Structure 1
Amino acid sequence: MPHDRQPSLKPVSDFLGSGLQILIGIGLLFAGGELFVAGSVALSLLLGIPQIVIGLTVVSLGTSAPELFVSLISTVQGNFGIAGADDLAVSNIVGSNIFNVLVVLGLSALVVPLRVKSRLIRRDVPLLLGVSMAVWGMASGGRLTWQAGAALLVATVMNIVWEVRTARENPDEPDAMDGSGSHTPAVAALKLVFGLVLLVGGSQLLVTGATTAALALGVSTTVIGLTIVAAGTSMPELVTSLVAAYRGKADLAIGNVIGSNLLNQLVILGLCAAVSGTRGLGVDPVMIQRDLPIMVITTLACLPIFWSHGVITRLEGAVLVLLYGVYLAEQLLGSLAPGYSEEFRLGVLIILLPATLIFVAWQVLAWREERRHS
């Protein structure tokens, strides 16, 4: 009889093996990202590149390096006809953006209320909202073409130029790069190369583990990408923002999220769409109907929260984290218990959505009343 049990144990062993691959992959991505940023910054300073340019390009891209390598490798695998690879590439970006707004901002606000700079309200959040809506529109046909990717990359260059020009208006901002130039060129290059190797290896492990986990659990690669992979590749943003919030640097905690979400779409999706070539980057219809709109709505929700009183309170942070819990539950129910997913969505529409809208409206009205009496 023991041999009869062997087949039933295989899915369990596959899942445990894939889980170990995912954990090791996330660890390698985290270490690789740290080395990649340190080496890139040091080498850039040694080459005489202005620090503002380093901050707006190398450092910002450094925290998004896990998303970049995971999505890029998935796209390359898609070029060779591997099933589900495109779904993982796109869902990783969309899921990371949702995770960053709801979890990273929410948990950071729970550590300490985050004061929002007016620049974010006037420029960065509207820009992120516009890019998110544009990406949704580009993907609505079920495929991101290489032309769409090229447009996103051109928009990246335009944004960097704009960032550099507007950053000159704030010359008194603290220097975050002090000490980075103390490396020799050899040490800086070694860190850069070794970080790159860890990023590639970690990405490969994470993609393989996520695909295997999806098969073992019987869920789609899209769901795995939106949840496990997205959370794993967003760990640098989470750690950076939590530490920044704890140290009282709210602008860094918030700017890290907004900047990362912008780069995820402009640079990473742009590169993946361009690399996909003439076939284009496939987008799951479910993602077009559900997850891309949620990504846009979460970005849109930042505006009234930021604008109402210029502070993300602990209560608002708790609401953001709660909303992510609901989103995660909906993802898992839809895959593991589809019979209950419709009832759950109906409950969200009837109870949670109106309650959230009332909460946001109440916050705005409370701020207006406070301004009128002050």
Structure 2
Amino acid sequence: MATLAPSAIQIVLGIALLFGGGELFVAGSTAVALLLGIPQLVIGLTVVSLGTSAPELFVSLISTLQGNDAIALSNVVGSNIFNVLVVLGMSALVVPLSVRSRIVRRDVPLLLAVSMAVWGMASGSRLTWQAGLALLVGLVINLVWEIRTAGENPDETDELNDEERLSPPAATVRLLGGLVLLVLGSQLLVRGATTAALALGVSQTVVGLTIVAAGTSMPELVTSLVAAYRGRMDLAIGNVVGSNLLNLFVILGLCALASGSRGLEVDPTLVSRDLPVMLATTMACLPIFWSHGQITRLEGGLLVLLYGLYLLEQVLTNTLPTVTDGFRLVTLTAVLPLVLLVLVWQSVRWWQERRS
């Protein structure tokens, strides 16, 4: 118990810093969007996403340099799963999230394509430095594309209220101050949660895919929750999609380069189970976005429920492997079909309301 007390303090302090940093970071990035004349969605996909992805980058890069490839890779995969299921889901529980056409038309399909490419690269059980270089080149191409297409849909840029109009120095201070608090809070949370998990005897695989991934994704969660509460839906959604893209492009790319000639060793479990789950969570967003252009509270709740099932499957696999097959059978034959029926019903009801 005494061993867990310092970890609990770190967790509580980390969460407090994350909430304060999330409020400052959203305010600063929103003001920067106005000052630069850029749509908030683009800010969410680039500046905000890069800032909130800093904890994942730090943890994965240090793990790579220390030779702990399992933590480096599972952190990225687990973070992407957490972002879609928990961050989007909980943000939609705060307020239904309207999805702009740019997300459906460009960003989610791009994320889907990059996720498939990473799965293909990892299928050889090793991510080489050449693969890392290819991912970084893809990042540059994507950023150029973002800049060139930022002004294609000026009607999609929201007007900011007077409270969100800040001077350049004030906006910069809030943006950088929020980023510092987010990074510090995330590091405290991850350190405390990891120490507690190891003290309780949880395996490194579970730590990487769940606790470390969820801890480093806390900035995305807090930032998107604050953005949703303040009505900045573009920022809430763009932050998630952009963070997932940067996790794959930047973090995996830099980690693969940092690994040198040895490359990043890929756990077979990641290839056979967790990378397909990451791909499936991204694909699950497309029907929701295409059918009625928003994520409702019910659909947000379903996303969070699916993450709970994924988390439970991780725990059972590592603690009670004898009941894992039964749990998977129930999930595949009962829970997932029920989720699909609810999504179809939601889409049909929306189309009927729109026609009437």
Q: Normalising by the residue count of structure 2, what TM-score does the alignment of the two structures yield?
A: 0.83
Offset at residue 163 of structure 1 (A): 0.4
Offset at residue 168 of structure 1 (A): 1.9
Offset at residue 271 of structure 1 (A): 0.9
Offset at residue 57 of structure 1 (A): 3.8
Aligned residues of 1:210 and 1:225 also touching (Cα < 8 A): no
Residue pairs, 1:216-365, within 5 angstroms:
216-365=199-348
1:162 paired to 2:145: yes
Q: RMSD over aligned Cα, in angstroms?
A: 3.5
SS at match of 2:336: helix
Aligned residue for 2:50? 61
Aligned residue for 1:179? 166
Aligned mates of 2:345, 2:48 — CA distance in 1: 37
Write out per-residue CA displacement over residues 55-93 of structure 1, whole angstroms, 9 at most, x where no aligned residue.
354332001111111111111111xxxxxx211111111
The aligned amino acid for 2:168 is G
Write out per-residue CA displacement over residues 2-47 of structure 1, whole angstroms, 9 at most, x where no aligned residue.
xxxxxxxxxx5555555555666676778789999999999x99xx
Compared CA separation, residues 141 and 112, structure 1 to 2 (3 A): same
2:64 alignment partner, one of 58, 75, 79: 75
Aligned mates of 1:294, 1:184 — CA distance in 2: 38
Compared CA separation, residues 119 and 69, structure 1 to 2 (3 A): same
Q: Which runs of 5+ in 2 are unaligned?
A: none
Compared CA separation, residues 360 and 37, structure 1 to 2 (3 A): closer
Aligned mates of 1:114, 1:348 — CA distance in 2: 27
Compared CA separation, residues 309 and 334, structure 1 to 2 (3 A): same
Compared CA separation, residues 116 and 16, structure 1 to 2 (3 A): same
Compared CA separation, residues 105 and 303, structure 1 to 2 (3 A): same
Aligned residues of 1:70 and 1:206 also touching (Cα < 8 A): no
Aligned residue for 1:130? 113
Percent identical residues? 67
Aligned mates of 2:94, 2:25 — CA distance in 1: 28
Aligned residues of 2:111 and 2:244 also touching (Cα < 8 A): yes
The aligned amino acid for 1:305 is I
Aligned mates of 2:298, 2:192 — CA distance in 1: 36
Write out per-residue CA displacement over residues 205-248 of structure 1, whole angstroms, 9 at most, x where no aligned residue.
66665665454333321211211111111111111211221222
Aligned residues of 2:82 and 2:307 also touching (Cα < 8 A): yes
Aligned mates of 2:29, 2:62 — CA distance in 1: 21
Aligned mates of 1:113, 1:38 — CA distance in 2: 21
Compared CA separation, residues 59 and 316, structure 1 to 2 (3 A): closer
Offset at residue 297 of structure 1 (A): 0.5
SS at match of 1:106: helix
The aligned amino acid for 2:166 is G
Offset at residue 105 of structure 1 (A): 1.0
1:112 alignment partner, one of 84, 95, 102: 95
Aligned residues of 1:26 and 1:233 also touching (Cα < 8 A): no
The aligned amino acid for 1:240 is T
Would you say how many aligned residue pairs link Structure 1 and Structure 2? Answer: 347
The aligned amino acid for 2:72 is A
Aligned residues of 1:34 and 1:195 also touching (Cα < 8 A): no
Aligned residue for 2:85? 102
The aligned amino acid for 1:318 is G
Aligned mates of 2:30, 2:339 — CA distance in 1: 42
Aligned mates of 1:283, 1:367 — CA distance in 2: 43
Q: Normalising by the residue count of structure 1, what TM-score does the alignment of the two structures yield?
A: 0.80
